[in-house]
Structures are given as structure tokens and as C-alpha cells.
Amino acid sequence: MKRTTLIILTLFIAGAASAATTLKIATVTPEGSKWMEDMRATAAAIKAETDGRVVVKYYGGGSMGTDSQVLKRIRIGALHGGVFTPSALMEKYGDIGLYGLPMVFETADEVSYVRSRMDSKIAAGMEDAGFVTFGFAATGFAMIMSKEPVEGLGDLKGKRVWVPEGDTISKAAMESLSVTPIPLPLTDVYTALQTGALDIIGMSSVGAVLLQYHTKVKYVTDVPLIYTMGFMAIDKKAFNKISAEDQEIVRNSLSELYARYDVLNLEDDAEAKQALFEAGLKRIVPDAGELAEIEAVLQASNADLAKNGVVSQEFYEEMLHYVAEYRSEHATVASAEETTDQR
């Protein structure tokens, strides 16, 4: 009788253990950073709320390699997801790069207006492509950071500029500006700046400070070049192995995390921008004529990308419609306020 009870108990424990699902997630987020602390805290909450049925395990600091290596590990089941920037998944789903078309947005408020109308469509497209996401977290606008001052198109010609691996949008944009795009994984950029293999990077302030790229450049051209964001993507097949009840817990917890990041990251980016100038980097503001020339070239490149299907023409036009709508509404408000002030 005792022996039978022991066998049943052993089988019960083994069954309970096998029912647990571990989601292995790779990220370049440095160990010890507050971002990693928040991610691990959310993982602990998920484990507690699911009574140990779902365990989220993070591999930080880029320990699982480049984005392409992480995606390969996901394909073979060695990992189940990663924390990415849009360029990593553009081959799977081109419209994940939609917000990153250069010089579409002028302010974070414009982006928020567009995202409130389009984020759900982008997320649905990601699921159709085989990845579950939990919201997108802004990481600020990428600016031109360079070893020599960049004030206009003439200063860009012939320069070697970093573009993320797989980033079709950035590659096309840089080629339209007559610069040489150098595709590299994020983990190789610091060394390339150090050795002189790169002259220019486009990077948000918080990204540059976090990864210490700012120590290898001297100038910042203060123009909102590209809107940047990050997100977590988990392989849909792996996610679907979790019960519906536990999926909801994971979705809610990670969505709350990314909603917080979406706000806090912009605050961090503003602080990091100030830190760049305090560290001695020189701020450059191009004159209106030079800026208009760059903008015209990049907008033509954007239109070609949509025409050629790199991003969908439908979503591209919808995004531009919302940008124009936002600017029209706020121009009207500003005009009304000015009239009131004059009275």
C-alpha cells in the first residue's frame, strides 16, 4: 500500500513538473540595469500568478548572440522569444518597420496619435507572422551621432553609416542620402566606432548612453530622424502551449510592463540627451534649408519603399493621413489660442 502511494505521488509530482512551461527570452538589455530588474520582477509575478505553471527566463546582455542568431535559436526551439527592435523582424513582417520610416514624425505626441490608431493592426500582423507581442515601447528618436559635424547633405556624402542587420528601410534611406550603409548587429557597433569602421550612427540618446556608443562620437545633429521602439516577441507555437487562462496572465503582465516602458523610456531618453551634452558632445542644428533638402530625399525614399511593398502602401498612406490629421488639428488649436491671446 505504501509502495503504491509512493508511486502515485511520484507520478503526480512528475506530471505537475511537466505541466510547467518555461519561456526562454533573449535580450541585449544589460544585466543589472533597471530594465532587466523590471523584466525579472514581472517574470516573478507571472510565476506566482500561474502557481509556477509559467516561468519566464531571461538571457540578458546579448549572451544569446545577434538578432539573427536569436531567431535561429527560436526556430529550433532552443529559445522561445526575444526583445527586439523592428529591424530584426522585418523579413518576417515588413510593417513592423512602418513607424521607423525616416522623418515621418516631428514629435512624440504625433507618434502617440498615430500609434493609438494603428498599434493594434501592427500587433495583429505580427501574430499572423507567427509572433505574439505585448505592446511597443518607445525608445526616443534616433539622431545623427558622428565623429565629424553633420549640418547638411554635403556632410553626409561618402560617410560610412551604421544600419542594423536586416533593416531594409534604413539601408534604402542611407543610400538615398549618398552615404555607405554598413549593416552590423547591435553588438558590433561599439567596436566598429572604436576602430574607425563607422563614421556615423543613428541612435536614440538613451540607447547611445546605455550601450556607451556616445563615448566614441563627438557631435549630435539634433533632428528627430527616426522614431525608435522595442518590443518582446514570443513564438506563437510556444505561446499556444500555455493554457488560455495562463496566456491571459502573461499577456496582461507583459502588456503592463511595456505600457510602463512606453512612458518611462521617453523620460529616460530626455535625461540621456542632456547627459550627452554634459559629457561634451557638441549639438548641431541644421538650418531650415538644409533640413528641408534632407527631408525631401528621405520622404521620396519612403514612398518608394511603400510602392515596392517593403511596407504596405495601405498602412503607409494611413499613417501619413493620421500625421496630417494631427498637425491640422493642432495647427487649428494653436491658431485659436493665438487669436485669444491677441484679444
- In tens digits, the chain (343 residues) has pLDDT values of 455 444 444 434 444 444 689 999 999 988 888 889 999 999 999 999 999 999 999 999 999 999 999 999 999 999 999 999 999 999 999 999 999 999 999 999 999 999 999 999 999 999 999 999 999 999 999 999 999 999 999 999 899 999 998 899 999 999 999 999 999 988 899 999 999 999 999 999 999 998 899 999 999 999 999 999 999 999 999 999 999 999 999 999 999 999 999 999 999 999 999 999 999 999 999 999 999 999 999 999 999 999 999 999 999 999 999 999 999 999 865 444 554 454 4
Give the pLDDT confidence score for residue 341 in this predicted structure.
54
Q: Cell numbers of 312, please?
A: 504596405
Give the pLDDT confidence score for residue 140 in this predicted structure.
94
Q: Which CATH number fits domain 2-342: 3.40.50.300, 3.40.190.170, 3.30.300.130, 3.40.190.10?
A: 3.40.190.170
C-beta of residue 94 within 8 angstroms of C-beta of residue 309: yes
C-beta of residue 146 within 8 angstroms of C-beta of residue 221: yes
- pTM here? 0.87
C-beta of residue 277 within 8 angstroms of C-beta of residue 283: yes
Give the pLDDT confidence score for residue 12 in this predicted structure.
43
At 323, the amino acid letter reads V
C-beta of residue 225 within 8 angstroms of C-beta of residue 142: yes
Give the pLDDT confidence score for residue 339 in this predicted structure.
45
Give the pLDDT confidence score for residue 70 in this predicted structure.
96
In the block, residue with C-alpha cell 507567427: 130
Nearest to 209 by CA among 165, 259, 145, 253: 145
